[in-house]
Amino acid sequence: MVVISLEDANYGDVVGPHNMPYLANLISRGSLVSKYYANSHPSLPNYFVMTTGLAIANDDDYSRTVTTDNVVREIAAVGKTWKVYAESLPSPGYIGGDQGPYVRHHNPFTYFSDVQQSTTQAANVVPFKQFASDITTGASFKLPNYAFVVPNLVDDAHSCITGGTTDCTLSSRLKTADGWLQTNIGPLLNTTEFQTSGLLIVLFDESADDITNGGGHVLAMMTGTHVRAGYNTSTTSYDHRSLLSLTRP
């Protein structure tokens, strides 16, 4: 299972327009959750809901340790494996603050007491460059049971390719994120292991400017071995708690 969260875009800017053609192709191969809503603004509470079921704090500068039950604890309890693949993370096991285009509040795992108080668990937080080697098919395939992918600020559609600003168009930011998905996730989908037993979930953490249901209407989609192609969950509403329910072991 691979979960990828992108940043700050309304549903209508992602689904329908031609800003993300590769993602549109993934949707056609999988299922679209057309009534999916983020839980809050800004980013961090949404990431906490995805991984603990609770918003914890409505502040991206939050720095306290989270002791609430979480996916790391649940995964460890049943003997499964997990990793966070964080782009621009300075080193394996790094659980500190922002470094360049890597921002901590997009990586909720670094707040969990389970990770902070265990060097073994902290070692599962790795730079994204390890993703390519871990999905090498065959004996070298090392993707864990649960993988949470954190693109950096440029590749998650949050910021412009020139750096930490957002003064470029949303369309250009989405196209950058789409190209990143195609380059980095395309190879995963082609592996024998994923095609045998794999699930990819791509979603946005929050909308750009919508406050419906707290965090606005956002895209969520999935594709994989047992996902019905072309299916649209058009009659039921979901949010980040639904993602947690689906992904917890």
Lowest mean pLDDT of 13-17, 64-68, 156-160, 238-242, name the range: 13-17
| pTM attached to this predicted model | 0.96
Neighbours of 206 (CB within 10 A): 28
Question: How many CA atoms does the CB half-sphere of 20 hold within 13 Å?
Answer: 29
- Using CA atoms, how far apart are residues 101 and 19, in angstroms rounded to an integer? 22
Q: Is the pLDDT reported for residue 72 higher than 90?
A: yes
Neighbours of 118 (CB within 10 A): 14
Neighbours of 170 (CB within 10 A): 17
Give pLDDT, residue 163.
Answer: 66
Lowest mean pLDDT of 5-19, 43-57, 63-77, name the range: 5-19
Q: What is the mean pLDDT of residues 149-160?
A: 96
Task: Please provide the average confidence, as pLDDT, over all residues in the chain.
Answer: 95
The angle formed by the CA atoms of residues 201, 144 and 215, to the nearest 5 degrees, is 30
Pairing of strands 238-239, 36-37: parallel
Q: What is the mean pLDDT of residues 141-154?
A: 97
